[in-house]
Amino acid sequence: MPVDLQALYPKLIHLMLDTVFVVDRDNTIVFVSNACEALLGYRADELTGTPITRYMHPDDLEATRASIIRIMNGHAHFDFRNRYIRKDGAVVHILWAAFWSDEVGARIGVARNVTALTQAEQELRFLAHHDPLTRLCNRSLFNDRLVAALHNARHQQRPLALLFLDINDFKGINDVHGHAAGDRVLCTIARRLEACVAATDTVARMGGDEFTVLLPDISSPAAVAEQIAQILAVMAEPLGPEFGDIGMPSCSIGVACYPDDGEDADTLLSRADDDMYQQKRRRRAAG
């Protein structure tokens, strides 16, 4: 007995894990497969007869409309991504394969949920330039920003400052309370440093218990001293009760300014690092 493919096709479409959309030239949904409920949270009958643009993320409307025009002009695509708003308000990332059918008088698209993939890609891109523990900029991104800031400082003939911070006696926290507790302290330090600086400044973890702060818009030595005083005051605040008997460690801060202490990134980092170690030596000698 021959297989009735015409009767089988609609059932196959509704069995697909990806969602099939058929949309007319006025952007009205005329058909959608049952997988739409898993994708967008709406039943097929809720979507049919409504404009597909209603569900698109507003920030993606312009690019999506441009894509629709290309499709209707006969240019099928198989790798377009955009975002839609689910019925529950959540955002879903979608990968589309779509084409225009003159025979049907509609565009036909297959939508795949790539939210998890997109989030994984975004996390990988983030981790390429950020410290995985503190979420601060890493050494590579900091160096790039320092080079760019120096270029702007030369062009605008204005100073900038670079701070190099080392957490005093941090090894003792790891030795006594464990590395998990030490990691929590480092994250607290990172958040405190971020709270001390402006949006145009950069805080980075260079590794271990060493941090840097780039101040590209600093106006004078007095402003640098004021910024250092603010950081020292914030760092001196005790840890919260969730840290138990762990004391907030102090820090030593070295500073280097462009152009007085150097005119390139390596020199400034070296000068700030040297100044930081001088601060540590003075602290040990005094204590």
State which of 75, 91, 120 marks the end of a domain: 120
Amino acid at 130: H
Q: Are residues 87 and 224 in the same domain?
A: no
Q: Residues with Cβ < 8 Å from 47, sequence gap 6 or more? A: 29, 32, 36, 40, 55
Q: Provide the Cα torsion 10, 14, 17, 22; round to 10°.
A: 70
DSSP 248: P
Q: Are residues 191 and 236 in the same domain?
A: yes
Tell me whether residue 209 is one of the annotated catalytic residues.
yes
Instruction: Report the side by side order of strands in the sheet with 19-24.
Output: 29-32, 19-24, 106-113, 91-101, 77-85
Q: Are residues 98 and 134 in the same domain?
A: no
Identified catalytic residue from 209, 260, 274, 275: 209
Q: Are residues 142 and 274 in the same domain?
A: yes
Amino acid at 257: C
We report the CATH number of the domain holding residue 46 as 3.30.450.20
Q: Are residues 187 and 280 in the same domain?
A: yes
Quote the domain boundaries for residue 27.
5-120
Domain count across the chain? 2
Q: Are residues 95 and 204 in the same domain?
A: no
The structure's pTM equals 0.80
We report the CATH number of the domain holding residue 185 as 3.30.70.270
Encode the chain (287 residues) as per-residue pLDDT tens digits: 565 666 666 777 888 899 999 999 999 999 999 999 999 999 999 999 999 999 999 999 999 999 999 999 999 989 999 999 999 999 999 999 999 999 989 999 999 999 999 999 999 999 999 999 999 999 999 999 999 999 999 999 999 999 999 999 899 999 999 999 999 999 999 999 999 999 999 999 999 999 999 999 888 889 999 999 999 999 999 999 999 999 999 999 999 999 999 999 999 999 999 999 998 888 777 76
